[in-house]
Structure 1
Amino acid sequence: MEWLGLQLFAELPASGQIILDCRHNPFLVMLAYLVACAACFATLDMAERQSHSEGLNARRQWRILGACCLASGIWAMHFISLLAFQAPLEVHYDMPLTALSLIIALLAAWLAMNSLDRTVMQWRHYLQAALAIGLGITVMHYVGMAALQTSALQYYQTPLLVASLGIAVVTSLVALLMARHFRSGSGTLHLVMKYGASLMMAAGIVLTHFTGMAALSLVIPDNLPLQLPSANNSLQLGLTIAFITLLISGSSISAALADKKLQSKEHDLRRVNVLLSQLDQARASLQQAAHYDALTNLINRRGFNQVFAERLAEQTASEGMLAVMFLDIDHFKRINDSLGHAAGDELLKVIAGHIKAATRSQDVVARFGGDEFCIVTSLHNRDEARHLAQRIMQRMKEPIDLGGRRMVMTTSIGISIFPDDGRSAEELLKNADLALYQSKGGGRNNLNFFNSSLKTRATLELQLEEELRVALLEERGLCVHYQPIFDLHSARVAKLEALVRWQHPQHGLLGPDRFIGIAEANGLIAELDLWVLRRACEDVAELNRLGYGHLKVTVNCSAVTLGREELASEVEMALFQAGVAARQLELEVTENALMGDIHRTINLLKRIRAQGVALSIDDFGTGYSSLAYLKRLPLDVLKIDRSFIQDVPGSQQDREIVQAIIIMAHTLHLQVVTEGVETDEQHAFLAAQGCDFLQGYLLSRPVPLTDLPPVLERLDNLDSDFSPERGTALPGSPDRFADAPGCRAGASVARRGH
């Protein structure tokens, strides 16, 4: 088979002269291998840059440059190897065929770079591409051989010719696999492996060429004379081609390195931009978290302070008015206690929505924490603030479905006005808080504007708080008065109720209504209760020495004190130190104080009662206790609150209530004490209903221990006219200046709930 003057797949002729003295210049062979190595390394770099480029134009440019590097390297290796071929013949090169071989090399290289640019390569893709590239390299080789013009004919041995094609295909397959593998990666190991891959690829290309050359046999026909070679410039031409090819490869490698550094800088810059963006997002998130409430999405106290300062500066400059409103949800703690904090959170979301809906877009609405909200609004007169507060209170009364229940909440509101009630943010907030205190103290579900008297009262309470701490610490000024409790069955005084008083150096004798609320609000109530307990036990010991050993003292116990696990041991210690029997002490607890942790309370009361101390429930009927719980409590006495006695016997409803309470108490085997008895008619009614004990100003008002013996002598030596059956009044008119209800140590006094 003859192709381009080449005798392919043909036997050697029977006649003719075979040229056997053919050699290769080893320097040019090594130079050809070096050119191939450089070209392969440059091609791997181009493939890497092609895969890392993001733009289509950039990928196309790297593909073209890679194809040029690979084609020039393969072609230069082939041509330099031909220049290294030395035979005893005159050798010339056909330029058109030489150029055609270069074009074929470019096509094969372009096909290789296209294959490397595919996103997904399966094995069939690798095989197809390797076959096409190997065939192209083989065709390029033999076209280049056809450009070799001599007087001899070129015959090729079929086995070696097929072997050269197979080596070209295998080399192309290995080159594709390595190029795909080395498209990504970094570091010294990656670079070393890429050097090794370049050497292997170049070796495959050189092996393909020299396998083809091994298949070559030069035969000079008999009719042609042998033309000996003349002087040639193969070395110079080989060096020139090598220099040009190495220059192309080196320039390409330099461009790849520069692009890699530039892309790395771009990636670093992009990473920095991403980090900056993330930092901005994190800063925005922190800003959101720092200035907004996560539950209601309203601004929190910190955010409010910032916005409020800006609004205040604006109104100061324009001489406008601002209203600051403090809102507190009435009895919100009951929701958390009964339905749980999750339900409380849902309720707060709804309430926040109601408040936002009732305000204007320019109003500032903030949640300060818990169930406290604050609103700042600009206005022209005070009535605008009142109308806004009323609108909020009306919106709050809309029914809310929560946890399967339908409930209506109310709110208390305190309002301060800029500039009338203050010019600084701190002063306006403090004054709005004082107004809120007045709203809650006035029965809740109410609004109040700040006035100067509130500030005076707050200043006085702060002063009283400081002085009360000193009084407790130094046990100076505090004293206990005792009010007799009369036994209707034995017609004598059976008990004394210990009631705390404070002999203030400036304000005189203060009743508990002046300082119990302060003690409860500032954590002093438990210490005050224990002081009264110890003093009462000491006074009972003194009465025992005076011959009143039958008397029992009742001491009030607040909800805070009842919540202390150590109360039982403190009661025991107070009795032991005073040397008083436990039967002479009775602890009074309010109905609402019992309704906290009822199971823990029952266990604590059982421990106290086991010592021999009696227990009574005070203010019965004014709280929210359950009869199911009442029958489980280890109680001895039930006290009827004075609010049920005031209109007896004139009010039929109150008479029936008192009758029912007495019957119920006796059914539960409890003794009944009725407090607040002030008239003969009340005494007669209670005696007729079977009440066990009376307490009130009809008998005596509270007196100090030193004044107590004469009172006891008078009450114990009454004539027989004062008896449960007769109901005759005590001589003398009752003292109408009775203490307000709840004026006992530990009694619940209306106070702010926050």
Structure 2
Amino acid sequence: MEWLGLHFITELPQSGQVILNCVHDPLLVLLAYLVACAGSFATLDMAERVGHAEKTGSQRLWRWVGAGCLAGGIWAMHFIGMLAIRAPIQTHYQLPVTLLSLLIVLLASWLAMHTLSHPRPSFWQCLKASVWIGLGIAAMHYVGMTAMHSNAVPYYQPTLFALSIVVAIGASLAALLISSHLRDGSGPLHQLLKYCASLVLGAGIVSMHFTGMAAFNLVLPAGNLQTLPGENNHLQLGLTVAIMTLLIIGSSISAALADKKLQHKERDLQRVNALLSQLDQARMSLQQVAHYDALTNLINRRGFNQIFAEKLIEKTNEGGMLAVLFLDIDHFKRINDSLGHDAGDELLKVLAAHIKSSVRTHEDVVARFGGDEFCLLISLHDHDEARQMAQRIMLKMKEPIELAGRRMVMTTSIGISLFPQDGKTCEELLKNADLALYQSKDNGRNGVNFFSQNLKARATMELQLEEELRHALRENTGLVLHYQPIYDLQTGQVSKLEALVRWQHPVHGLLAPDRFIAIAEANGLIADLDNWVLRKACEDLAELSRQGCEELKIAVNCSPLNLAREELADEIEHALRSTGVAPQRLEMEVTENALMDNIANTLGLLRQIRALGVSLSIDDFGTGYSSLAYLKRLPLNTLKIDRSFIQDIPTATQDMEIVQAIIVMAHTLHLQVVTEGVETFEQYDFLERHGCDFVQGYLLSRPVPLAELRPVLNEINQRNHSRTITPLSLARGTSALASTDLFQGNPGPHAIASIARPIH
């Protein structure tokens, strides 16, 4: 039987024909198996490379390399297997037919690699491809068999022939499934699995070949003489083909391994580049955060200092002037306290935009230093440019702003320092601009001030005074209390004393409070100072009690900053307990504005103080903005009328009417009234006639130290028994006007009369 040029044995041959049995060289058979295993391993490796390659060109390249390795392995296995045949007759091979078989297996191998190029080929895709690949391998095998020529005729057994095709298809399916499964693994175990799979696939390919060879028989026709085989070099040729094939496959595997490492390095490099890019972005973000204000998007202090340093170097080398403008929004804290911090932030954004729109876009630098502080750096040619810039900003700031349903107008205080005359460094210029800013605030705000050396001298003096005041409080040296009598118009006796602090400075002499109270408040010393005054006043009151003045009370001033401290009530209680003074003999004086600034917290603290039994007095009444609705809720005992309403009496009719109204209102609220700054008999008569309870001032006495107090008290109280009152300063031979109490205010323009008048 003959089909497609192949002869099949259907029955035993007739007489006259001889069937020749062939054997195989075991060394070449083993060599063929090793080549098949190498080709299988290369195929698995190339399939993995195709799956991991990111570029289309690389995938195409490794697909062809894999196809070449698989085809070379199968074809070399087949050729070596053919060389392993030991036929009893002389045989030879046709080269063109042999090369044709190589082309067939190359096409089948390309189909295999093409199937493996899919990321996840399905089973049915693998099965369909394996049919074509198996048929291709079988075709390669039997086309290669036809290349063998001899006197005998080759015949094939149909069953084994069909079985060889089935084995080829099965081996192809196994190769596809194993390759798709192993393409994504890594590590030693994965490599071991690849080795084992290569041995299995090699066995499958060899099994197909030798199943086909088992179906092969040589039949020598009758009459043909059996020619003995000559000496051949099949072993040498097989070794040569095997070595060449293994070298090619090994080179391909080495190239794949090198490409894999290179790809890993590229990925590592890409990862490093990505990290560097992220770090660069993070650096940019950090730089944005580090050098820009998140709320207003203006440069912050750090960014400003960097630009400032660069500008200073430029102006130093090339010449020119710079101006530093320090801005502070007037009364901005009220916005946060009344409308909340969110509204305050929105207002800051608007104000920042106003400032930014007032300057030259490219030449000037605008920065926000924090809170409501802004700073500008401008280049200029003369002094007036800085003033014009400041005035332009102040005018822009006065534009009405709609915020939280309200229409408001803000103002700003500005301080200016100039380079080079006011400083050569960033720190010096900023410090000097800040000093000028505080001068603007001291002058009533909403103004502009340039730095001057006087400001620096004053700042230096204040710094020195701060250090010395801190030392005086720590060592309890230099601070003294003076006491000014408060005269009771009903009893005609001195019933109270106001304790007024003084500082006996070793260089500057006796300093009034206006020289150091503000320094203490600005540097966190006011709590210690007030506590010292409180303890010292209680100690002196205890001493006066031992001297027979058991009914005297002492009024102690309380700083507005101290009203925000919850510890104040405990400190008062401790001072009273440690000195043995009854709480009813102590009166705390607080200013009107201090009470109103934070009425909710203040009210609770005042109630704690009143619960101790201590009296409370509202000082400087009339100069603040207290509400009568709140005033009636405050646990007060006394109301002290400010001296500004008294100094022009009796010539100022309006002041007289105001004082009358305050007295009536205070009595309606069940408050006693003290009037300070009384310096003339006319003022005294007016207050007595209109029901004032107490008077205090230079008409009675200047503040005196504790050592001089008893004679003063005795003299004032004795004058009441004679029903006459004489200015104590004149009676003691001193000038009232020469004794200036700066904490209480300077005496008015009226000289104290030297006439003794009867008390009505």
Same fold (TM over 0.5): yes
Q: CA deviation at 1:75?
A: 0.7
Q: Which residue of 1 aligns with 2:165?
A: 165
Question: For residues 227 and 505 of structure 1, do their structure 2 counterparts lie closer, same or farther at Cα, with a shift above 3 Å needed?
Answer: same
Q: Which residue of 1 aligns with 2:353?
A: 353
Tell me the distance in 1 between the aligned counterparts of 2:221 and 2:408: 118
Corresponding letter in the other structure for 2:431: K
Tell me the distance in 2 between the aligned counterparts of 1:419 and 1:650: 54
- Residue 118 of structure 2 aligns to a residue whose secondary structure is coil
Tell me the distance in 2 between the aligned counterparts of 1:156 and 1:634: 125
Question: For residues 551 and 143 of structure 1, do their structure 2 counterparts lie closer, same or farther at Cα, with a shift above 3 Å needed?
Answer: same
Tell me the distance in 2 between the aligned counterparts of 1:19 and 1:592: 131
Q: CA deviation at 1:222?
A: 5.7
Corresponding letter in the other structure for 2:168: A
Tell me the distance in 2 between the aligned counterparts of 1:146 and 1:729: 152
Tell me the distance in 2 between the aligned counterparts of 1:630 and 1:343: 29
Q: Which residue of 1 aligns with 2:103?
A: 103
Tell me the distance in 2 between the aligned counterparts of 1:127 and 1:399: 83
What is the CA RMSD across the aligned residues, in angstroms?
A: 3.3
Identity of aligned residues (%): 66
Corresponding letter in the other structure for 1:518: I
Q: Which residue of 2 aligns with 1:505?
A: 506
Tell me the distance in 2 between the aligned counterparts of 1:466 and 1:76: 100
CA contact (8 A) 2:493 2:720 kept: no
Q: Which residue of 2 aligns with 1:114?
A: 114
Corresponding letter in the other structure for 2:324: V
Tell me the distance in 2 between the aligned counterparts of 1:184 and 1:655: 101
The farther-off stretch of 419-428 and 697-706 is: 697-706
Question: For residues 551 and 58 of structure 1, do their structure 2 counterparts lie closer, same or farther at Cα, with a shift above 3 Å needed?
Answer: same
**What is the CA deviation profile of residues 578-627 of structure 1, one whole-angstrom value per residue up to 9, with x for unaligned ones?**
33211110112234434566555444433332222112232345445555
Q: Which residue of 1 aligns with 2:753?
A: none
Q: Which residue of 2 aligns with 1:328?
A: 328
Tell me the distance in 1 between the aligned counterparts of 2:714 and 2:676: 21
Question: For residues 329 and 12 of structure 1, do their structure 2 counterparts lie closer, same or farther at Cα, with a shift above 3 Å needed?
Answer: farther
Q: CA deviation at 1:478?
A: 1.9
Q: CA deviation at 1:283?
A: 3.7
Paired residues, number:
739
**What is the CA deviation profile of residues 238-265 of structure 1, one whole-angstrom value per residue up to 9, with x for unaligned ones?**
1121122112112212222333333344
Q: CA deviation at 1:27?
A: 1.3
Question: For residues 665 and 166 of structure 1, do their structure 2 counterparts lie closer, same or farther at Cα, with a shift above 3 Å needed?
Answer: farther
Tell me the distance in 2 between the aligned counterparts of 1:30 and 1:41: 17
Q: Which residue of 1 aligns with 2:60?
A: 60
Kindly report which structure 2 residues correspond to 1:184-223, keeping only aligned pairs within 5 A, or say none: 184-219=184-219
Kindly report which structure 2 residues correspond to 1:482-561, keeping only aligned pairs within 5 A, or say none: 482-561=483-562
The farther-off stretch of 117-126 and 69-78 is: 117-126
Tell me the distance in 2 between the aligned counterparts of 1:72 and 1:425: 79
Corresponding letter in the other structure for 1:167: V
Corresponding letter in the other structure for 2:241: I
Q: Which residue of 2 aligns with 1:449?
A: 450
Tell me the distance in 2 between the aligned counterparts of 1:500 and 1:213: 124
Tell me the distance in 1 between the aligned counterparts of 2:176 and 2:596: 84
Q: CA deviation at 1:136?
A: 1.8
Corresponding letter in the other structure for 1:290: A
The farther-off stretch of 571-580 and 277-286 is: 277-286
Q: CA deviation at 1:37?
A: 1.4
Question: For residues 508 and 256 of structure 1, do their structure 2 counterparts lie closer, same or farther at Cα, with a shift above 3 Å needed?
Answer: same
CA contact (8 A) 1:46 1:66 kept: yes
Tell me the distance in 1 between the aligned counterparts of 2:81 and 2:11: 24
For normalisation by structure 1, the TM-score amounts to: 0.89
Question: For residues 698 and 12 of structure 1, do their structure 2 counterparts lie closer, same or farther at Cα, with a shift above 3 Å needed?
Answer: farther
Question: 2:108 matched to 1:69?
Answer: no
Tell me the distance in 2 between the aligned counterparts of 1:598 and 1:154: 119
Q: CA deviation at 1:533?
A: 1.1
CA contact (8 A) 1:104 1:140 kept: yes
The farther-off stretch of 227-236 and 503-512 is: 227-236
CA contact (8 A) 1:35 1:245 kept: yes
Q: CA deviation at 1:565?
A: 3.3
Corresponding letter in the other structure for 1:697: Y
- Residue 299 of structure 1 aligns to a residue whose secondary structure is coil
CA contact (8 A) 2:89 2:226 kept: yes
Corresponding letter in the other structure for 1:108: A
Kindly report which structure 2 residues correspond to 1:168-187, keeping only aligned pairs within 5 A, or say none: 168-187=168-187
- Residue 606 of structure 2 aligns to a residue whose secondary structure is helix
Question: 2:440 matched to 1:465?
Answer: no
Q: CA deviation at 1:668?
A: 4.0
Q: Which residue of 1 aligns with 2:702?
A: 701
**What is the CA deviation profile of residues 467-491 of structure 1, one whole-angstrom value per residue up to 9, with x for unaligned ones?**
2223223333322122222333334
Question: For residues 624 and 204 of structure 1, do their structure 2 counterparts lie closer, same or farther at Cα, with a shift above 3 Å needed?
Answer: farther
Kindly report which structure 2 residues correspond to 1:495-644, keeping only aligned pairs within 5 A, or say none: 495-595=496-596, 598=599, 600-623=601-624, 627=628, 629-644=630-645
Tell me the distance in 1 between the aligned counterparts of 2:125 and 2:630: 85
Q: Which residue of 1 aligns with 2:754?
A: none
Q: CA deviation at 1:20?
A: 6.9
The farther-off stretch of 163-172 and 728-737 is: 728-737
Tell me the distance in 1 between the aligned counterparts of 2:652 and 2:19: 146
Q: Which residue of 1 aligns with 2:291?
A: 291
Q: CA deviation at 1:230?
A: 4.1
The farther-off stretch of 536-545 and 487-496 is: 487-496
Kindly report which structure 2 residues correspond to 1:300-315, keeping only aligned pairs within 5 A, or say none: 300-315=300-315
Q: CA deviation at 1:738?
A: 5.9
CA contact (8 A) 1:638 1:665 kept: yes
CA contact (8 A) 1:299 1:366 kept: yes
Tell me the distance in 1 between the aligned counterparts of 2:656 and 2:164: 124
Q: CA deviation at 1:382?
A: 0.7
Tell me the distance in 2 between the aligned counterparts of 1:73 and 1:208: 14
Q: CA deviation at 1:141?
A: 2.0
Q: CA deviation at 1:13?
A: 6.0
- Residue 353 of structure 1 aligns to a residue whose secondary structure is helix
Mark the runs of 5 or more structure 2 residues left unpaired by the alignment.
747-760
Tell me the distance in 2 between the aligned counterparts of 1:224 and 1:665: 153
Tell me the distance in 1 between the aligned counterparts of 2:660 and 2:136: 118
Question: For residues 163 and 681 of structure 1, do their structure 2 counterparts lie closer, same or farther at Cα, with a shift above 3 Å needed?
Answer: farther
Tell me the distance in 1 between the aligned counterparts of 2:26 and 2:713: 138
Mark the runs of 5 or more structure 1 residues left unpaired by the alignment.
745-754
Corresponding letter in the other structure for 1:201: L
Question: For residues 656 and 233 of structure 1, do their structure 2 counterparts lie closer, same or farther at Cα, with a shift above 3 Å needed?
Answer: farther
CA contact (8 A) 1:15 1:221 kept: no
Question: For residues 448 and 15 of structure 1, do their structure 2 counterparts lie closer, same or farther at Cα, with a shift above 3 Å needed?
Answer: same
Corresponding letter in the other structure for 1:516: I
Q: CA deviation at 1:168?
A: 2.6
Question: For residues 137 and 674 of structure 1, do their structure 2 counterparts lie closer, same or farther at Cα, with a shift above 3 Å needed?
Answer: farther
The farther-off stretch of 216-225 and 248-257 is: 216-225
Question: For residues 46 and 646 of structure 1, do their structure 2 counterparts lie closer, same or farther at Cα, with a shift above 3 Å needed?
Answer: farther
Corresponding letter in the other structure for 1:704: P
CA contact (8 A) 2:701 2:728 kept: no
